[in-house]
Amino acid sequence: MSRQQRQALDELLRHGPLDLGGDVAEQRAVFSEMMASIPLPSDVSTTVGELGGVPVVTVETPASDPATVILYLHGGAYAIGSAADAVGLAAEIVRRTEARAVCVDYRLAPEHPFPAPVDDALAVYRALLDDGLPSSAIAFVGESAGGGLVAATLVAAKDAGLPRPASAAVFSPWADLSVSGASVVSKAAVDPALTPEGLRRRARDYLRDTDPTTPHASPVFADLTGLPPLLVQVGSHEILLDDAVRLAARAAECDVRVDLQVWSQVPHVFQGFAVMLDEGAEALDAAAAFTRAHWTDVTEGAEAPEAVG
């Protein structure tokens, strides 16, 4: 079934209405409508709130343990998407980890350029710590731009002297806003969702005059020393393949424990299509197992994660 599933998903994405590089207002509406058309399971609850002055949506199921938190950062090339739009994918992580997710509704470009999303994500993390939640009970998860933002926020947290969380998992991270990876060209024909031109347009909206190799914008250029264990998942049919591979390599160079999983012939953020793609469900299972394992290390008496400052 998997080959047929992959072909069906490829066709769906190639002929879908979303154009990541299109007019921002139009594409925000298109994306929100797409996400709203997918009903949430009846056992998933959402609560709108605020942490550190930043809007958030908390996602839970009856099995969620409030003592463990997924800090979730959504995708959308820093210009599209919202915490509410991310609830469906966050809920899949919540169900598998039996945690609660805090989806960050960070500010978007072009209205709020770099470093607004980093500042917002960091503010939410700081607020969770200030509320008494130990860093060892927090795991970061993000997809696409949110995956790059996870890594950037962890670097910012390190620079701020905050303790590192238990782990981080990123799906198809956009980690190089200079859009210079070789796969931008080599995978363009097989990527059904993203285009180099679309990414470059969104990068200009987000960065304005900021150098795209700035570490808090493009973590492939950052010193990742001291970051928590990192899981990187990516599909082989996406132009951001090299972003994921280079982020994992950079983490390894900096002595970070990193697991890189490249899933064959699947597209950008294929985990979001787990209901129709076996690989998506398998990848989510793997991400949840990775996350749970690092919480278990702490609860079973292993040494707690060291501060990154």
* N-to-C CA span, the chain: 48
**Which one of the listed residues 216, 237, 268, 294 is annotated catalytic?**
268
Integer Cα distance of 145 and 82 in angstroms: 12
Q: Are 42 and 70 in contact (CB under 8 A)?
A: no
pLDDT at residue number 1: 54
Would you list the DSSP string of the chain? -HHHHHHHHHHHHHTSS--TTS-HHHHHHHHHHHHHTSPPPTT-EEEEEEETTEEEEEEE-TT--TTSEEEEE--STTTS--TTTTHHHHHHHHHHHT-EEEEE----TTTS-TTHHHHHHHHHHHHHHHTT--GGGEEEEEETHHHHHHHHHHHHHHHTTPBP-SEEEEES----TT---THHHHTTTT-SS--HHHHHHHHHHHHTTS-TT-TTT-GGGS--TTPPPEEEEEESSSTTHHHHHHHHHHHHHTT--EEEEEETT--TTGGGGTTT-HHHHHHHHHHHHHHHHHHHHHHTTPPPPPB--
**Which one of the listed residues 144, 167, 183, 218 is annotated catalytic?**
144
pLDDT at residue number 53: 98
Q: Please name every residue paired with 71 in a beta bridge, in sequence order, or none if there are none.
A: 102, 140
pLDDT, one tens digit per residue, over 6-40 is 999 999 999 999 998 999 999 999 999 988 888 89
Q: What is the mean pLDDT of each run of 10 residues along the chain (309 residues)?
A: 88 92 95 89 96 98 96 98 96 97 98 98 98 97 98 98 98 98 98 97 98 98 98 98 98 98 97 95 98 75 42
238: annotated active-site residue: yes
**Which one of the listed residues 60, 92, 143, 238 is annotated catalytic?**
238
Q: Where are the domains of the chain?
A: 2-298
pLDDT, one tens digit per residue, over 182-236 is 999 999 999 999 999 999 999 999 999 999 999 999 999 999 999 999 999 999 9
What CATH class has 2-298?
Answer: alpha beta
